[in-house]
Structure 1
């Protein structure tokens, strides 16, 4: 049995509101009790939250890298370093995400994931793989390598899914030949189908949604807006995702990919229950600005990181995010005007619901996984706890002798 942990003197962010001077207990990787008064637990290691916020851990369902590493470097060391990096910023669970690549490289990434997952003890928990591509529109490829973009191939995606059970999400463009059949197939296998890097119009999005696609990948980025064809206007994926109540969306809330007016618009229309905050972070997240590489070290794209974002070398377009989850929450509060509990929900309960793990993660309640972050008024992370284990602490101390 793991050592019990007790957090006291914190502002607990719970589904029913913020509990001032709250107290909670954790044991065997789960939350065992929450109270608005002290809980007597003489055998527990005690953590004084010092009046700071105690929140469910942040869940990043779209992340490529960080700390100088990318998941498609295809090394166990890269996977573990990324998990450790993002734990420092409050991420307790993540979906490692690929880029468009060859089938062979994709299969290797999946193989490395399975090995790294078993060794990941000190960072954000891996909760499955997110395949971003290769079934995209070339017109909306963005920083995705066009050499590998192709239409869905049943033989290929069936082979990939038969080789592993770790794929939990797959992003694709629904207007492509065979994309509707792809969406139905992956959904039947328990994989979330998401719309991404797409030039679809409303009518195609509607058909896609009816056949399994339920999420819009990084809303506004790599997708169509209103277009004109022979004088007639057509709603694109952006308008469709905002209009369709059943469609969830995810946003890169770094304040750069989406400026404040768009962050406010998404929140106004979709609300916290349908909007997940994602970093979409590349390897430069948590690193100094300067030259970097998007994708694998072997055949990735050279980029420059400045002004808090990755850009193509000619600065003609963004080439990736360097966001961390705590900054996403902070931005939604400070520049989008979202109340703190709602901003936290967008990084916790909502992504948990999207990934159908809301019975284990995303809220502070007895029986839930003990994934906890403690942060100050500016969402600076003081401590990160994954499944009841302290994996990062900044200044907060906890007693080394139970009950002292």
Structure 2
């Protein structure tokens, strides 16, 4: 089965101008002007997207596929994510994680959920672990999970600088980073340590201590929720100047003292941080608890999946070129997680994960591995129980 997207402006995410895109099976076969069906090659569908923008599907590196929360008791556990919510947001690749609750939600359950979403049409990966140290695993260790389980690409989300963390010391965190690094080396995966960072005064100090005192490279750490407050953003800027990367959370905009991901990125750009060092994730289906000064939960919301799309629109509304605004949700996370060039780009040979923007960057069409999952803004493929 072949599909030709005709007449759109292609952002790969670099602006390639008006081009046609040929999808052959699950991959992009060609990007060029004037691509026409070839008689005898088989059925070819032609979709006219003249005046539209063709961009890579979003890569969301932090999604609570099984739900999250529970900090307010059993009734505050958030529900599992469903396929339609993911694809309607323009996301075609997700990395699932556990959060505060590594007890009633398990690594085996997370793996099963990731496999089910893959069967329904998108690409899925997972982190092994949860907030606590030592982390829950499937095979007994972070290293062996990475080596033996295809979908495990790193360890996380391990909590630091947060009253909900297990209060790990630098030596424990360094050991986890080393386990993830070696597991990644042996399996050819990223092996990153994905870190939930809270509002505690220590912020990123443990990462700085570890990269100073050990041989573990700064690239092993991917701290997230960096836009919780200005102090944490400034710590993140310091980390990037040492060669590190930082992840902003789209859902943080509703929290006290927090910045939107777009605000944080624009500030970092003004401070000379390269756009390639920054990513955005949704924290999708996770809980967004609000705690008072005594650590008691005073409010709770559920993070949606639409944050990546919203932040791209926010960045462009603030004057950033679309080719740059797309990088934190496409090519940057794909490279950090060693999923590039299959993910995060529209180059020939990459997976046909594609979003077509209409007017005002509205999502009109979504393809995942060549299969159309959204047509004219409506989900056309549903999960088993949607």
Q: Secondary structure at the match of 1:220?
A: helix
Q: Does 1:345 align with 2:343?
A: no
Matches within 5 A, 1:179-328: 179-190=173-184, 191-197=191-197, 199=202, 200-201=204-205, 203-204=208-209, 206-207=211-212, 210-212=215-217, 213-221=220-228, 225=232, 237-244=235-242, 246-253=243-250, 256=253, 257-259=258-260, 261-268=263-270, 269-282=272-285, 294=287, 314-315=298-299, 321-322=303-304, 324=306, 325-328=308-311
| Counterpart pick for 2:357 among 375, 384, 402 | 375
Structure 1: stretches of 5+ with no match in the other structure: 136-149, 227-235, 284-293, 295-300, 305-311, 397-404
1:386 lines up with 2:368 in the alignment? yes
User: Secondary structure in 1 aligned to 2:351?
Assistant: coil
C-alpha deviation, 1:98, in angstroms:
1.4
Q: How many pairs does the alignment contain? A: 332
Q: CA deviation at 1:40?
A: 3.9
CA contact (8 A) 1:348 1:363 kept: yes
Contact kept? 1:277, 1:346, Cα under 8 Å: yes
What is the distance in 1 between the residues matched to 2:64 and 2:348? 32
Distance 2:340 2:96 in 1: 19
Q: Indicate the residue corresponding to 1:141 in structure 2.
A: none
- Per-residue CA shift, 1:211-268, capped at 9, x if unaligned? 1523222223399749xxxxxxxxx843532432x21111124682424543311233
2:188 corresponds to: none
Alpha carbons of 1:215 and 1:116: their partners in 2 closer, same or farther (altered >3 Å)?
Answer: same
> Structure 2: how far apart are the matches of 1:51 and 1:209?
52
User: SS where residue 391 of structure 1 aligns?
Assistant: strand
Give, in whole Å, the separation in 1 of the partners of 2:231 and 2:182.
Answer: 27
| Distance of 1:327 and 1:192 partners within structure 2 | 26
Worse-matched range after superposition: 381-390 or 342-351: 342-351
How far apart are residue 276 of structure 1 and its match?
Answer: 1.3
TM-score normalized by the length of structure 1: 0.71
Secondary structure at 2:320's aligned position in 1?
coil
Quote the RMSD (CA, aligned, Å). 3.5
User: 1:84/1:261 Cα in 2 relative to 1: closer, same or farther (>3 Å)?
Assistant: closer
SS of the equivalent of 1:314 reads: strand
Q: Specify whether residues 15 and 334 from structure 1 end up closer, same or farther in structure 2 by C-alpha distance, changes over 3 A only.
A: closer
- The aligned residue for residue 401 of structure 1 is none
1:125 maps onto 2:123 in alignment = yes
Q: Compute the TM-score of the two structures, normalised by the length of structure 2.
A: 0.74
